[in-house]
A and B are shown apart, each in its own frame.
Chain A
Amino acid sequence: MSNFSKGFNYQRPDKSIHDPTLAGPLWVYGSLLLSWLLDLLPSSHWPFFPSFLVMTLIFWAIHQPNRIFYWLAFCLGLLTDADTGAVFGQHALTYCVVVFCAELMSVRLLWLSPISQAISLLPVFLLPAVLKTVESFLLSQQSFDAAWFLQVLLFIVFWPLWVWFLSRRFYLG
């Protein structure tokens, strides 16, 4: 930043401690790992419960796209697949598509408050349920559950809280 622009901003309080753009790699990748583990909780057995990993991937795809790689989303997805016994590649595809869509919307989302973000992200939050439905028909698993789509509502409720949490950083860099 040049001295020239500093001159115009000197009255603005420096809130960089809660600016996710400044979060270090430890917090970015640590929070991804944490949300992967949170998804293992028994609450994930409810079909309507949102995935923390999806929210964290969206958050960092918005604020730190340089640190979110598709191979990373892909590998996290394969880990989930191997762990839950899902068809191999199911979650990998979901996470890659979610990151892609979040990156497409990222510039607009940066200007919105967390609550408006949650509403704008509705189509992205729908993606896991939609992909799961398509897969259940294509792979003839025949176990479609309408409760997957209720996930969207809980995603919208959880998003502002999760944004608040991820912005704290807890001095982890």
Chain B
Amino acid sequence: MLGPSKHLKFNAPRASSFTSFGFFAFAAILMMVVDHQMQVMEPVRSGFAWVADALHTGVTAPSRGIEEAAEYFQSKSKLVNENEVLKKRLAESEMERFRLGTLSDENRVLKEMLQQKALYPVHSVMFEVRRALSDGFTQRYQINGGSDDGVEVGMPVVTETGLAGQIIHVSKRSSQVQLIQDKNQEVPVLFTESHVRGIVRGTGDGDTLQSRDLPFSDKIRVGEKVVTSGLDGIYPKGIPVGTVTSVRPGEAGSYVDVSIAAPKSIGTSEYVLVMFVDTESKLPQVEEEEPADPQQRRKAKR
């Protein structure tokens, strides 16, 4: 097999490699810049994601069929047992729900008495986690609900243990969740015992979050529970985020480094809740409050 095959046609006509390569390499770089700076590529991306999805489901169809068949032939007694356990749990949670219902009524009345803005119940829908995605940079998961189900970019995602992340890309039948443990993800939080508000961001290592800009005067204690503060208008108030594991003086001296243990909740649970909050009306307000780009701020001053 060594050497060019006697069948290889060296004189075959070919399109110019250099021109073609130059064109597509330039197109790729242009797309990267455009995609990184603004969100115009979303429809194209959604189309490609739809094709990728179709390929993926087509190939995994046989294995899923086998799994379903195996589940179907599972022993009956196991299912009966499971049913009993579930019934018990249902009764328990039904009672809990009733108790919480009365509590939330009471809470609403108290809030109205204080003339505070009432916390409206957020409509949420359950979706299945399909698989973990990886491009080496980010921590993301794919779920089986997309724009057809009403999912939009920016919606918060929760599991039974607490806040999991945020929808970052939406396709027709699937969407991508960026975890709060991701480096690019920020969550406004409230420390429940010291009543300090701050912003935490992921460290990228999978189960810790960090907050680096809290003043030294704030008395944050180790073991304190951390919940969302609801200040950004995207994450509803009071979703559990994690527990404080360490409070250390920061590099600058007057600030503290707070580490928060927030185990990745989405990888282990098969279902997630997507909260259908109104992301459209809130996002521009946040941008107006603080322009992220320092150059923009400078221009505004002029």
Q: Which residues of A contact B (CB under 8 A)?
A: 1, 9, 15-16, 18-22, 33, 36-37, 40, 42, 44-45, 47, 63, 65-66, 69-71, 73-74, 77-90, 92-93, 96-97, 99-100, 103, 107, 110-113, 132, 135-136, 139, 141-143, 145, 148, 167
**Cβ contact within 8 Å between B59 and A37:** yes
**Cβ contact within 8 Å between B4 and A107:** yes
Central interface residue in B132, B138, B184, by most chain A CB within 10 Å: B138
Residues of B in contact, count (CB < 8 Å): 56
**Cβ contact within 8 Å between B183 and A88:** no
**Cβ contact within 8 Å between A70 and B7:** no
Residues of A within 8 A of B289 (CB): none
* Shortest Cβ gap from B138 to chain A (Å): 7
Residues of A within 8 A of B98 (CB): none
**Cβ contact within 8 Å between A92 and B24:** yes
B201 at the interface (CB under 8 A from A): no
Residues of B within 8 A of A99 (CB): 21
Residues of B within 8 A of A80 (CB): 52
Contact of A87 among B5, B23, B32, B48 (CB under 8 A): B32
* Shortest Cβ gap from B130 to chain A (Å): 11
Tell me the interface secondary structure of chain A in the complex.
helix
B176 at the interface (CB under 8 A from A): yes
B41 at the interface (CB under 8 A from A): yes
Contact of B25 among A45, A93, A135 (CB under 8 A): A93
B135 at the interface (CB under 8 A from A): yes
Known: A36-B55, A92-B27. 4 other contacts (CB 8 A): A37-B55, A87-B32, A88-B45, A92-B31
The complex places the Cα of A18 from the Cα of B5 at a distance, in Å, of 11
- A-B Cβ contacts below 8 A, count: 149
Q: Which residues of B contact A (CB under 8 A)?
A: 1-8, 12, 14-15, 17, 20-21, 23-25, 27-32, 34-36, 41, 44-49, 51-53, 55-56, 59, 131-138, 140, 168-169, 171, 176, 178, 183-184, 204
- Known A47-B136, A84-B134, A85-B138: A19·B45 in contact at CB below 8 Å: no
**Cβ contact within 8 Å between A87 and B28:** no
The complex places the Cα of A148 from the Cα of B178 at a distance, in Å, of 22
**Cβ contact within 8 Å between B136 and A148:** yes
Residues of B within 8 A of A71 (CB): 20, 24
Closest B residue, CB atoms, query A12: B6
**Cβ contact within 8 Å between B59 and A96:** no
Residues of B within 8 A of A82 (CB): 45-49, 51-52, 171
Residues of B within 8 A of A42 (CB): 131-132
The 3 closest A-B pairs by CB, nearest first: A82-B48, A89-B31, A86-B135
Contact of A22 among B7, B56, B138 (CB under 8 A): B7
* Shortest Cβ gap from A21 to chain B (Å): 4
Closest B residue, CB atoms, query A72: B24
Residues of A within 8 A of B183 (CB): 141-143
**Cβ contact within 8 Å between B1 and A96:** no
* Shortest Cβ gap from A123 to chain B (Å): 17
**Cβ contact within 8 Å between B32 and A90:** yes
Closest A residue, CB atoms, query B15: A69
**Cβ contact within 8 Å between B48 and A79:** yes
Closest A residue, CB atoms, query B177: A85
Residues of A within 8 A of B2 (CB): 110-113
Closest A residue, CB atoms, query B14: A66
Residues of A within 8 A of B36 (CB): 87, 139
**Cβ contact within 8 Å between A84 and B25:** no
**Cβ contact within 8 Å between A45 and B134:** yes
A-B contact pairs, 20 of them (CB 8 A): A16-B7, A19-B1, A36-B55, A40-B56, A45-B132, A71-B20, A73-B24, A83-B56, A84-B135, A85-B133, A85-B138, A85-B169, A87-B36, A90-B32, A96-B28, A100-B21, A110-B3, A111-B2, A139-B32, A145-B136
Contact of A18 among B1, B30, B137 (CB under 8 A): B1
Residues of B within 8 A of A74 (CB): 24, 27-28
**Cβ contact within 8 Å between B21 and A70:** yes
Residues of A within 8 A of B140 (CB): 84-85
The complex places the Cα of A135 from the Cα of B133 at a distance, in Å, of 19
Contact of A93 among B28, B47, B135 (CB under 8 A): B28
* Shortest Cβ gap from A135 to chain B (Å): 7
